Amino acid sequence: MTRKTFAVLGMMCAGCAANVEKRLKQADGVASVAVNLATRTALIEYDEQQTSPEQLKETLGKIGYDLVVEEERNVEAIERQTYTALRNKVGLSWLFALLVMALSMNWIHISSRDAQNQLMLILALLNIVYCGRQFYLNAWRQLMHRSANMDTLVALSTAISFLFSTFNTFWGQSYWGSQGIEWHTYFDASVMIITFVLTGRLLEERAKHGTASAIRALMGLQPKTAHLVDAGQVVDIPLAALQPGDTIEVRPGEKIPVDGTVVGDAVAYIDESMMTGESVAIAKRQGDKVLAGTLLKEVAGTEQKKAECQTFRFRAEEVGQKTVLANIIRMVQEAQGSKAPVQHTVDRIALIFVPAVCGIAIMTFLAWLLVGGHGYLPQAILSAVSVLVIACPCAMGLATPTALMVGIGKAAQKNILIKDATALEQLRRVNALVIDKTGTLTQPTIPTPPTTHTTPTEPTTPTEPTTPTSPTEVLKPHARQAMQALQHQGIEVYMCSGDKDERAKAIAAEAGIEHYRSQVQPQDKEDLVKELQAQGKTVTMVGDGINDSQALARADVSIAMSRGTDVAMDVAQVTLMGDDLRRIPQAISLSKKTVGMIHQNLFWAFIYNLVCIPLAAGVPYLFGLQWQITPMWASALMAFSSVSVVLNSLRLKMTA
């Protein structure tokens, strides 16, 4: 099975995402699909023996979406072009809208009512053809495959208001006027619906750009070119042209382009804070590993080779998508594209939401006719149009993925790599934490070297060395602070150690941990996790991902410590880069804030529909209130609801 993330072009709402996921799941050879509306990606697990990306692309093409499978296609460039085209459409649509509004409000005075209506008809038609054409094309494709999305609602509502207004333009007086019924045209509603929907999409795009800032920052860590040493000459080549075994030169202030091993006598001081979160530059000597994206601060060397020490060289080993940085980027992208459990419920609702709204609109139309008869036909049509417009499911589809994108991206900036949305959601439930001692809670000390005594008047002779300090491990920096923060969050901490009881007790006391187990084996750690789970606790295990693998696999949430080169991506659901244990309570706090944000977004998205659909249908009239949401205001509220959800998610950047 192959697991890969593809960009999907053309998705605009929760209905789009649900349809794309449904179609892909129905394709032969596809095991699982997770479609993310915010990132416009699909994480697909498929059998290469039964299907191919090209076949999946063809499947989606039939319903109007584009799966980007070609490596040479620049998705960012395509999205920039799409954004520019959308911005131009919005500007043109507002021009048409202002002209139609000026005519309908008599700001531009035309003596003949027929001429005024005919001019508005032309402007509205131009707006549909040049600005709203895509709504109709997409709605038609959906209809041909017995599905529906937001484009369906926009196309229906604008078409109904336009066609009804066209009828009134030419036959309004003869049909309605002859019956003594006042009649109007509603070209302004048709134009404003398209204008507000397009404006909402433009604002969404700008807001969603901020939710992806963490990924763009990670991608920006890798330089675009490298200095290749070839036959004694140094030439600049694109990063994509590098091969394993190439010798690469790096100068102070530049970033390491790919993973490799240091060659030569120079000593490089490299800032690896992007991997470990620790700002102190690390000395790298011959044979040491260097990682893509890290920063060369300065170079030193022997007196004889000072001239060669302005730069340092290393041999490329992992290039392209095989570098640690590329793995981290892929991991964050997949995590942002994954689905929280609550999203599956939203997806099921999205599949039936548009057809349900169409049903409500029809019921609204019939109800007005039953109440008022033939004379209420205009009111019935406007009410049905308002329902179709205001119920577009954009906000519902964006509620979860935008919060996840910001939360997981924020975690990556804090050197916390979260594998998927399920892990992020589970972290907030943790109330018991099991932590390994050696290498996780503690680190080894450096032995004190033997000392010798000499006198200045006698030849130097070695004497018996003093007893060296035995390698007496110590707590990692901030370990006690981290344990206190966890306990402050209401989490019970249990330390596991292979040491004898006296030593384990001393370390636990120093770390401020009340519960500990001594002389444990790997099986004992797993048994402790099972014991706590049997008590009804949600347990996270923190270890190094090797001898703690049994317990990590058993825990509700597994957390592995990493030092950059040994990223335990396949071992744990959460990986902490570096040794700072304070990232554990930070991760739990971030989980609580992110899930809280998801619930807020979903609450407002559903409340919006529950409140606004009845108002658009005209329910206030039942209670004697002569007030109703018109199609124009319905489109404005719909656009505002989508943008507000994205902006609310962006608050995580400031609060997390």
Question: For the residues of 281-332, what is the DSSP string, one character each?
Answer: -EEE-TT-EE-TT-EEEEEE--GGGGGGGGSEEEEEEE-GGGSHHHHHHHHH
Positions marked active-site? 436
The pair phi, psi for residue 260, each rounded to 5°, is: -175, -165
Neighbours of 655 (CB within 10 A): 10
Look-up: residue for tokens 């270890």?
A: 543
Q: Which helix H or strand E contains 424, and what residues bound it?
A: helix 421-427
Q: Which residue has the tokens 């032969």?
A: 28
Burial class (CB in 10 A: 0-12, 13-18, 19+), 308: middle
CA distance 379 to 186: 11
Residue found under tokens 């799409």: 82
The sign one gets for the Cα dihedral 479, 480, 484, 487 is: positive
Tokens of 399: 């509620």
Q: Is the Cβ–Cβ distance between 433 and 584 less than 8 Å?
A: yes
Give 199-224 as a DSSP string. Answer: HHHHHHHHHHHHHTHHHHHHHTTS-S
Q: Within its chain, how far is the Cα of 400 from the centroid?
A: 9
- Which H or E run includes 617? helix 583-617
Number of H helices, E strands in the chain: 21, 22
Residues 6+ apart with CB under 8 A from 13: 37, 149, 150, 151, 392, 393, 394, 397
In the chain, % helix, strand, coil (3-state, to 5) comes to: 55, 15, 30
CA distance 54 to 199: 33
Residue 468 burial by CB count (10 A; 0-12/13-18/19+): exposed, middle or buried? Answer: exposed
Cβ atoms 417, 575 nearer than 8 A: yes
Sequence letter at residue 582: R
User: Which pair of tokens denotes residue 519?
Assistant: 């002389």
In the DSSP assignment, the letter for residue 433 is E
CA torsion through residues 51, 54, 55, 59, sign: positive
CA 315 to chain centre: 34
Distance CA 209, CA 409 (A): 13
In degrees, rounded to 5, the angle at the alpha carbon of residue 94 between the alpha carbons of residues 113 and 40 is: 135
Residues 6+ apart with CB under 8 A from 292: 221, 222, 255, 256, 257, 258, 259, 318, 323, 324, 325, 326
Consecutive H or E run containing 561:
strand 557-562
Residue 225 burial (C-beta neighbours within 10 Å; 0-12, 13-18, 19+):
middle
Structure tokens at 483: 């344990």
Residue 181 to residue 172: CA distance in whole angstroms: 10
